[in-house]
Amino acid sequence: MTTMQRYGVSSAFNLSRLNPVTDRVSPHNGVDLATPTGTPILNTGLGRMTRVSNHP
């Protein structure tokens, strides 16, 4: 049996998100997950992973 760790969403999908850098309202069309380096990320259903990266 494996133990599943739970990590949080650091930035959710939001069509009217206030961009913290530009201070303007602009859509965030993805979901950012805060996980430790090396954590396996898996798609569910018909979802599509388009980018995996580290962003400060």
Domain that holds residue 14: 1-36
Q: Give mean pLDDT, residues 4-9.
A: 70
Residue 30 in domain: yes
Segment 31-41, tens digit of pLDDT: 887 888 888 87
pTM value is 0.49
Question: Is 56 inside any structural domain?
Answer: no
Tens digits of per-residue pLDDT, 9-27? 887 888 888 887 889 998 8
Provide mean pLDDT across the span 47-55. 72
User: For residues 30 and 53, is the Cβ–Cβ distance under 8 A?
Assistant: no
34-43 as b/e, with b when 16 or more CB fall inside 10 Å? Answer: eeeeeeeeee
Q: Can you give the pLDDT at residue 25?
A: 92
Structural domain total, the chain: 1
Tell me if 49 is assigned to some domain. Answer: no
22 located within any domain: yes
**Does 52 fall in a domain?**
no
In a domain, 55, yes or no: no
Question: Which backbone phi and psi does 18 adopt, to 5 degrees?
Answer: -85, 115
pLDDT at 1: 37
